[in-house]
Amino acid sequence: MAENPSRQHQAKTLRVFRKIHRVTGAWLFSLFFVVAVTGLLLGWKKHAGDYLLAKTRTGTTSDLTEWLSLDSLHTIARQVLKDSISPNLSATLDRIDVRNEKGIVKFVFADHYWGIQLDGATGRVLTIERRRSDFIENLHDGSLFDKYARTGNGQIKLIYTSILGLALLTFTITGFWLWYGPKRMRKGKRETGPRKSVGLWKFWL
């Protein structure tokens, strides 16, 4: 007896989805692995002591009127970078993170993964941190490649996130169909079987 055309179509669709799922997984396994591991580490960054991200220290006062000027604090941070880390590192800033409720200022540098926390009122160095979490975040979203290639508008990050996003969407769709497709085929087979039996029974009667 010839197989039901609908079943043949479903089986063909299932084979296509299985092939797409397998090929996509084979090509993008390493990228998915990196995204999964870095995502896990980012989730734990505030619960790993000071290893991934240094805890925010506490300064002497949160009263901004008693603080040194940002220019003075910046000068101190640049000097600390030169004297305590390396005179060869760039002092170009990525951002200045003012935590007035904690009484501190964080200076985060753009061209490397060092940061310095200063007491806002006294300029005292509270911690010199190796910001591993920033490196992990840049690797997670692909901006690390733009950083080293010195691209101007995050082109590599855009391509990287687009590929991963589309691949994950493809994985979701094909994975769902690999689960649902066989169920649908079995359901169709069960529904078709009894109708054929009834037809034969009526024919013989």
Per-residue pLDDT tens digits for 80-92: 999 999 999 999 9
Contact between 72 and 123 (Cβ < 8 Å): yes
| Six token digits for residue 119 | 């007491």
| Better-predicted residue by pLDDT, 111 or 18 | 111
> What's the mean pLDDT in 105-130?
96
Q: What is the pLDDT of residue 12?
A: 72
The pLDDT of residue 194 = 53
Q: Which amino acid is at 1?
A: M
Q: Looking at the predicted structure, is the pLDDT value of residue 190 above 50?
A: yes
**What global pTM score does this model have?**
0.72
Residue 183: its pLDDT value, please? Answer: 67
Q: Torsion angle, CA of 116/119/124/130, rounded to 10 degrees? A: -20
How much is the pLDDT for 189?
62
What the block records as the tokens of 126 is: 């509270």
Residue 191 has pLDDT above 70, yes or no: no
Q: Residue 44 has what pLDDT? A: 94
Three state DSSP letters for 165-182: HHHHHHHHHHHHHHHHHH
The Cα 86–Cα 108 span in angstroms is 15
- Exposed (0-12), middle (13-18) or buried (19+): which is 133, by Cβ within 10 Å? buried
CA torsion through residues 60, 66, 71, 75, sign: negative
Query: Is 112 a residue whose pLDDT tops 80?
Result: yes
Q: What is the pLDDT of residue 201?
A: 37
Residue predicted with more confidence, 29 or 127: 127
